[in-house]
Structure 1
Amino acid sequence: MGKEIPVDFFVTKLNEAKIHFERALDCKHTDFDDLYPYMIEHPQFFWYKRYVAWSELLTIVKLCKELEVSWEEQFTEQQIEYINKRVMSSKVLDYWFETNDSREHVG
């Protein structure tokens, strides 16, 4: 009936969703900025931007789980815990990059 999708497709999409979320956390440019340029003027813009990126990441992870595609390798243990809880809390926003007292940011 349908075409079989290779596993690396989902791994690539997962990596793209992770980068998108991390760029949103760091207030860097994402596709959301291009879709809603007028939103920059609104104080809630960055919250919406992060929420959209977080939702995308959770959706890709959900698909990976359903299709039994390994997804955890791209994340730290703490990030996996956040993803499994599914709630984008202030803790996620504040500590997503935290790994042994260092901060890693996407370029």
Structure 2
Amino acid sequence: MGKMSAEFMYAKLTDAKIHFERALDCKHTEFDDLYPYMIEHPQFFWYKRYVAWSELLTIVKLCDELSIEWRDQFTDRQTDYIGKRVMSSRVLDEWYETIDTNVG
């Protein structure tokens, strides 16, 4: 695989990670523009997160198939969640690791 292809996949991985994190944070994503009529729907944010999670898993799968290392863009916990593939409430609640757990 050429250097350009690996750089392309890293860019796509970064985009997918940002997309998922924006969906987690209830920030605007492309999904809002695609389905503006759904914004009032109570399940909208769940759908939005599901779509972003699926996109992230797809890019990770492609990286695996192309032997491109993707784990260095994620924490160990996030890598574990991605490996399990299931978007559970734990993933949603604990995606961002808290640093202040053992302060003092």
TM-score (norm 2): 0.91
Q: Distance in 1 between matches of 2:70 and 2:9?
A: 9
**Alignment partner of 2:39: what SS?**
helix
Q: Distance in 1 between matches of 2:79 and 2:98?
A: 13
Aligned to 2:49: 50
Q: Distance in 2 between matches of 1:87 and 1:38?
A: 27
**Alignment partner of 1:6: what SS?**
helix
Q: Distance in 1 between matches of 2:73 and 2:94?
A: 16
> Structure 1 residue runs of 4+, over 6 Å off?
none
Q: Distance in 1 between matches of 2:5 and 2:41?
A: 40
TM-score (norm 1): 0.89
Shift of 1:100: 2.7
CA RMSD of superposed structures (Å): 1.3
Cα pair distance change 1:33/1:64, threshold 3 Å: same
Which stretches in structure 2 are left out of the alignment for 5+ residues? none
1:92 aligns with 2:91: yes
Aligned to 1:69: 68
Aligned to 2:16: 17
Aligned to 2:32: 33
**Between structures 1 and 2, the one with greater helix share:** 2
The letter of the residue matching 1:67 is L
Shift of 1:30: 0.1
Which stretches in structure 1 are left out of the alignment for 5+ residues? 103-107
Shift of 1:6: 1.4
The letter of the residue matching 1:6 is S
**Alignment partner of 1:43: what SS?**
coil
CA displacement 1:27-51 (0-9 Å, x = unmatched): 0000000000010010000000000
Q: Distance in 2 between matches of 1:46 and 1:76?
A: 24
Q: Across the two proteins, how many residue pairs are aligned to each other? A: 99
Shift of 1:99: 3.9
Q: Distance in 2 between matches of 1:47 and 1:13?
A: 22
